[in-house]
Homo-oligomer: A and B are copies of this chain.
Amino acid sequence: MPKKPIITLLTDFGLEDTYVAEMKAVILSICPNVTLVDLTHNIEPYNIRMGAYLLARSAEQFPEGTVHLAVVDPGVGGPRKPLIIETNSAFFVGPDNGLLVLAAEKLGISHVYEITNRAYMRKEVSNVFHGRDIFAPAAAYLALGVPAKEFGEEIFDYVKPSYTKPKIFRDKIVGEVIHIDHFGNIITNITKKQLNMKGIDYGKSFSIIFKNRKPVKVKLLESYSKAKKRELLTIVGSGGFIEVSANMANASKILNVKPGTKVTFNFSS
């Protein structure tokens, strides 16, 4: 635990209500010395997968001992369990619906606990706001140094999402779009290593096919500015995946592509 603990927050609550602030109020009541960092609160409502991807890419940047509080929770108040996942270097707190696992696996899961101990919950627990009443206090007590095993029993049957890995063929890779960012960069689940194995390095071009549409010819470039203005390119994104981008323009609008779209990288022609 660092001397000044850090709690990060990721939700689909948006910023027009005070739901996020109410979670922070609960945290500060328990652990006044904490540093709070918003990851994002603009996860598309109920989009667990978008939350999982953004949590996974950002959590690994934080110092050891950080507590990550993540709430995209369509099943709130129902039978899904509230969880603490302890990893080698951080804690994750949130619902048992797959949201936390992608990030936690990257850091190495050591134990998973179901939160059941009422002593570490808000006095009154609303059925519609476990973010404030169960997850926020749990994160705050973890940041104070309460051991994860104090919150409830260890469990092993938590939800393990099978996020699609790309399929690798002789002369193509078939993956999918996992995220469109603020600039319209189209982030795929295909890595640089996988491209390299097909003989593609900086300066080389190949074809990209979204769904069943016409192929688009693009080069792998080292930086946006190596392309002409509005020209399409592929690049190694800062999260480690191959992105389809356009220099100073919005690739997702140019190509009309959304998260979840199937994408084929074709090296045959």
Contact = CB atoms under 8 A, between A and B. Distances in A.
Interface of A: 2-4, 6, 8, 10, 13-19, 21-22, 24-26, 28-29, 32-33, 35-42, 45-46, 54-55, 57-58, 61-63, 74-79, 126-129, 132-133, 179, 181-183, 222-226, 235-238, 243, 248, 250
Contact of A35 (B13, B18, B28, B127): B28
25 contacts: A8-B21, A15-B41, A15-B42, A16-B181, A16-B182, A17-B182, A18-B58, A19-B181, A19-B238, A21-B37, A22-B58, A24-B37, A25-B62, A29-B62, A32-B63, A45-B182, A46-B248, A74-B225, A74-B248, A78-B223, A78-B226, A79-B225, A128-B235, A128-B243, A129-B238
B21 A38 contact: yes
Given A37-B24, A77-B222, A128 B63 contact: no
Given A40-B15, A62-B29, A224 B74 contact: yes
Interface centre among A17, A25, A28 (most CB of B within 10 A): A17
Query: How many copies of the shown chain assemble into the complex?
Result: 3
Given A54-B17, A58-B18, A78 B37 contact: no
